Amino acid sequence: MKENPYQPWLATIDSICDEVGGQRAIKTFRLVFQDEKVREKFTFLPGQCVMVSLFGKGECFFAISSSPTQKGFIEVSVLKLGKVTSALHECEPGDVVGVRGPYGNHFDVSGWMGKNLVLIGGGIGQAPLRSLIKYVVDNRKQYGKLDIIYGARTSKDLCYTKDFAELKTCEDTNACLSIDVKEDGWSDFVGFVPDNLMRVNPSPKNAIAVTCGPPIMIKYVIQNLGKLGFSEDQIFTTLEMRMKCGIGKCGRCNIGNLYVCKDGPVFSYKQLQNIKGEQ
Amino acid sequence: MVNEKQLRDEVKKLVSRDDVKYVIGYEQGTYGFQVTPSFAFTPEEAERFIFSPLCANNLSVYLMLEEKPPLRKGEKEDTRKVGLVVKGCDARAVVQILQEKGLKRESLVIIGVPCTGVIDPKKITVKFPHQIKPVDVREEGNHYVLTINGKNQKIPKDELLFEKCKQCEYPTPVIHDVLLGDEVKSTKKEEYKEIKTLEKKALKEKWEFWSKAFDRCIRCYACRNVCPLCYCKECIVDQLSPQWIYRSVNRSENTVWNLIRAYHLAGRCSGCGECERACPMNIPLTMLNKKIEKDIKELFQYVAGVNLEEKPLLAMFKPNDTEDTIL
Amino acid sequence: MKVSTMEKYILLKNKLPEWINMITPTYTIFAPVKEEDLVFFKPITKPSEMTLAYSNAIVPPKAQMFHQTETMFTFTQGKNIRVNPASLPDEKIVVFGIRPCDAKSLSIIDPVFTNDFEDPYYLTKRKNAILVGLSCNQPTVNCFCTSLNGSPASPEHLDILLTDIGDKYYVELNSEKGKQLVEKTKKLFTPATDADSKKKKDVEKKAVDAITRQMKINNVDAFVKKLDTIFDAPYWKTIAMKCLGCGACTYLCPTCHCFDIQDETTLDKGARIRVWDSCMRPEYTLHASGHNPRPERMNRVRNRVYHKYNYYPKNHQMIACVGCGRCIDNCPVNIDIIDVITKAGEVKP
Ligand code: SF4
Ligand code: SF4
Ligand code: SF4
Ligand code: SF4
Ligand code: SF4
Ligand code: FES
């Protein structure tokens, strides 16, 4: 029999980055597989996920927020919410966790070569987009224009601020941040992400739009993308569900006949329109 | 028993009222001796209602299962009443819920059925294992008359009656807005015969008995979900942090589960027997409940769900309370 | 294997115990055992422990492959974390007296445990198991396998099928595994005659005729498609009103295969376990954020029906129901899949 798909590899927490100072706590964990062979063998593409275990507490499913172009480690960003994520937030560098994966489908990075990309994220939903952004930046010549639209409630809730500081200096990248309400010293857009999208006004021509974030944001972003002329098969999003196995067996992550862990998490808006099921 | 026409008329009247949302009662089930819960929103739907000796379910559980989806903008809460058909034991569950302030009295309209006992579905299926077509069952004195394939069969009540009904002290609903028919007075007394026999057994024997029973438990929680008094927002078995009971299905966790369930109903269980009826694994849950009920009766002279004015047992304190059960 | 090339034998009833005794040293034998008026598949050491006069086991024999509780691996906690794989049993087992519908259920759930990631726990046991079936001569009131192209005497998903034809069993070998098992004990078997085959057919027909409850849908495939058109029908709410959301119907269903994964620990040791779970419970889909994609009983009742009759056929070209009737027998409020499906067939899109 093949390897046991439920049994995780051990990984050491290399470093922890406190992403936000807002009400919600988000930390990004850099994980390094203990076994060198695993480090080499473990390959993934932006959008894919891993199941991270804290032994004794349980497992949680996360989008990988680092890029496959970064070697030697993977990163996951964790919003403190339930039992496992709260315990993860207590961890320190050097602590050991379990990782299995990668799971699910991925952004069609090869199919999208030569296209303009509009990446719209909100809050912690940026995690899979961060992987994609880094990937695109590292393969910059293969892609067209890159518009990044990202927002959170307050400036303290914005994740990956260091990345954005760098992105803003990139010439061929248009990174637009927003916060929901006005704050002193904020020079970027004030307002909701869907509104920022309208302001940026990307052209649908030869473009792909990807949006990840809270469901309500996604809903309005998709509406607005429609207004801008994006068609159903130009729009992609990632979905979240409660996960246990990550490999299409335990049953709970289904939307209609599709399993988010296996058939997702990336779906085109066109696909979503056609499935009957609860999201 | 009950005049079904009178029942339907009463339900029709109720559902026609502006302040009543729907009425919960019984209708013919899909095969054999099945009776199934029914919800009448309109007078036409009330036509389906029946009451027969097969109406074992305690429908008051549905009061606690009502789903209230979050209100949309501009939407007002629906405060209309819910109507409910109850037997004697079912009514005690309603009283208990009201005592605990789980529901408001004014949110209910209660149609009481003075009860002369109901049939244990497990007993009747053993007698007629292949019965598919619905059967008409009537009560005639000390017998049930079953009409099967046009032929009448007479069976002594005692052979089919639910055990709980044989000792029922409150056959007429202690709470009701309408009573269908005359009050039924009980001369029965709960003697706890089975419990007394078990109490006399050696510890080892008791443990053998219960561990064998709990080993069968598959933790489906039908016993909990069918119970009108198991209405905690988050059941202790579902809590994850702290996790009191592990999900593993084994003797130790199953024992913890079954004892916790019984203890959480101490002084609250109305003795409707639904938990045992629902249990697919034939675990004698009534015995657990009854043991606790007996102890409480002896220690605190308290009976659950019979007096609306009373406070729940665990919300009551008397200086002379015995402390044998605590510490 | 084609039915036409199937080998057929006769085993005299009084030889059955001898056969069981002969295979007991090599195999762990799970057979129907009676306890408290219920029948369970349990390991037996001698033939007298089993009961073959039974209608169906309360817990389906899927539990022999897909344990209700399974230790996936153990680990040590603390700074020096180590993961110790659980040992997978290599014992050979015979599930004796399994009904054709329950055998079919295993073929139905196989793809879930196989797909891209092989599930070692289920598959090891499944591969080590020989299914020796027993035709269902006296179907229960809620049996309806014939509505779903099944038969109470079908050898299709079995290694061996025994059919009680009076004072003897008609034995059909339906796989290599089955042949091998009989091969080693060949002296107990005699070839079946045409008269025996005819007897089996008669017995089967009698059993088929005894199944009177049927789903009244004209065409199973059309019904699967029809469900696509009535997802939003108020019908689901109507039937869900009386559902209690317990797990009886799913835990006891031979094709339900959902599970939960949990860590269970003592001070320094721990185990990752998996246990059966059910889509009828609200916690099943509850997100840590508090959001629940299936917040109402309607969503959950519908999911159970759709998973069996629409999603599963879409993904695996099979209906995930064998018509064993357990969910009907055990629902405390008479939610009856035969009735639910029949009436869904009448709902206007
Ligand atoms: S109904 Fe029976 S089997 Fe189910 S959890 Fe309760 S005691 Fe256990
Ligand atoms: S514990 Fe059992 S007998 Fe007591 S109220 Fe609940 S369902 Fe009825
Ligand atoms: S859904 Fe019901 S009838 Fe169908 S296989 Fe499952 S338990 Fe049996
Ligand atoms: S019906 Fe529900 S519990 Fe059963 S397999 Fe399908 S999703 Fe799982
Ligand atoms: S057994 Fe009946 S009440 Fe329980 S979840 Fe299933 S359908 Fe609902
Ligand atoms: S997480 Fe188990 S099936 Fe998707």
Q: What is the pLDDT of residues C176-218, one digit of tens each?
A: 999 999 998 999 999 999 999 999 999 999 999 999 898 888 7
The answer to whether position B291 is within a domain reads yes
Highest mean pLDDT among B129-138, B295-304, C163-172, C266-275: C163-172
Closest Cβ opposite residue C263 in set A6, A10, A56? A56
Q: Which of the 8 DSSP states describes residue A156?
A: G
Q: Within the 232-251 window of chain B, which residues sit less than 8 Å (CB to CB) from chain A?
A: 240-241
- Residue corresponding to tokens 């070209």: C317
B197 and B168 in one domain? no
Q: Which two tokens stand for residue C13?
A: 């009833």
How would residue C1 be classed by pLDDT, with cut points 50, 70 and 90? very low
Q: How many domains does chain B have?
A: 2
Kindly report, residue by residue over A64-87, the tens digit of the pLDDT: 999 999 989 999 999 998 889 999
Q: Among A103, A136, A153, identify where a domain stops.
A: A103
Q: Among C210, C231, C260, identify where a domain stops.
A: C210
Q: Is the pLDDT of residue C4 over 60?
A: no
Report how far residue C94's alpha carbon sits from residue C86's, in angstroms, rounded to the nearest whole number: 23
Q: Among B153, B179, B205, identify where a domain stops.
A: B179
Q: Is the pLDDT of residue A1 over 70?
A: no
Kindly report, residue by residue over A188-235, the tens digit of the pLDDT: 888 899 998 888 888 999 999 999 998 889 999 999 999 999 999 999
Q: From the candidates B229, B240, B248, which should be mutated to test the interface with C, based on the most C CB atoms within 10 A?
A: B248
- pLDDT at B110 (0 to 100): 97
- pLDDT at B323 (0 to 100): 66
Mean pLDDT for C270-289 is 92
Query: How far lies B14's CA from each of B8, B24, B62, B121, C216, in Å?
Result: 10, 11, 18, 30, 35
B294 and B163 in one domain? no
Query: How far lies A256's CA from each of C238, C250, C292, C307, in Å?
Result: 20, 18, 15, 8
Domain membership of residue C162 as a residue range: 7-210
> Please, which residues bridge with residue C96 across strands?
C132
Report how far residue A207's alpha carbon sits from residue A145's, in angstroms, rounded to the nearest whole number: 9
B228 and B172 in one domain? no
Query: Is C259 in Cβ contact with A251 (below 8 Å)?
Result: yes
Chain B residues touching residue A216 (CB < 8 angstroms):
none
Domain membership of residue B288 as a residue range: 193-315
- pLDDT at B42 (0 to 100): 96
Q: Which residue owns the Cα nearest ligand 5 atom 8? A: C243
Cis, bond preceding A102 (omega within 30 deg of 0): yes
Look over chain C and give the mean of its residue pLDDT values, rounded to a whole number. 93
DSSP codes joined into one string, A85-139: HHHHHT--TT-EEEEEEEES----TTTTTTSEEEEEEEGGGHHHHHHHHHHHHHT
Q: Is the pLDDT of residue C281 over 60?
A: yes
The pLDDT > 90 percentage for chain C reads 84
CB of C254 within 6 A of ligand 3: the answer is: yes
Q: How many domains does chain A have?
A: 2
Query: How far lies B290's CA from each of A272, B293, B299, in Å?
Result: 53, 5, 14
Report how far residue B27's alpha carbon sits from residue B48's, in angstroms, rounded to the nearest whole number: 6
B159 and B282 in one domain? no
Kindly report, residue by residue over B159-217, the tens digit of the pLDDT: 999 999 998 999 999 999 999 988 888 888 888 999 999 999 999 999 999 999 999 99
The answer to whether position A267 is within a domain reads no
A52 and A132 in one domain? no
Kindly report, residue by residue over A12-46, the tens digit of the pLDDT: 999 999 888 766 899 999 999 999 999 999 999 99
C30 and C164 in one domain? yes
B218 and B152 in one domain? no
The answer to whether position B321 is within a domain reads no
Domain membership of residue A121 as a residue range: 116-238
B197 and B162 in one domain? no
Chain C residues touching residue A98 (CB < 8 angstroms):
83
Look over chain B and give the mean of its residue pLDDT values, rounded to a whole number. 92
- pLDDT at C59 (0 to 100): 97
Q: How many domains does chain C have?
A: 2
pTM as predicted: 0.93
How would residue B280 be classed by pLDDT, with cut points 50, 70 and 90? very high
Those residues whose C-beta lies under 8 Å from the C-beta of residue C204, and which sit 6 or more positions away, are: C135, C151, C152, C153, C163
The answer to whether position A257 is within a domain reads no
- In A, minimum Cα distance to C87 occurs at A4
C229 and C174 in one domain? no
- Residue corresponding to tokens 């089996």: C200
Which one, of C65, C115, C117, C113, lies nearest residue C88 by Cα? C65
CB-based pocket (< 6 A), ligand 2: B 93, 226-229, 265, 269-275, 289
B244 and B149 in one domain? no
Report how far residue B3's alpha carbon sits from residue B52's, in angstroms, rounded to the nearest whole number: 10
- pLDDT at B119 (0 to 100): 96
- pLDDT at B327 (0 to 100): 45
Mean pLDDT for B81-104 is 95
Report how far residue C118's alpha carbon sits from residue B176's, in angstroms, rounded to the nearest whole number: 59
How would residue B324 be classed by pLDDT, with cut points 50, 70 and 90? low
Q: Is B176 helix (H, G, I), strand (E, B) or coil?
A: coil
CB-count exposure of residue A206 (10 Å: 0-12, 13-18, 19+): exposed
The answer to whether position C349 is within a domain reads no
| pLDDT top residue among C159 and B300 | C159
Q: Which two tokens stand for residue B165?
A: 């009904």
3-state secondary structure B80-146: CEEEEEECHHHHHHHHHHHHCCCCCHHHEEEEECCCCCCECHHHHHHHCCCCCCCCEEEEECCEEEE
- Interhelix angle for C120-127 vs C100-114, to 10°? 140
Mark residue C37 as left, alpha or beta (left: phi above 0; alpha: psi -120 to 50; beta: remaining): left
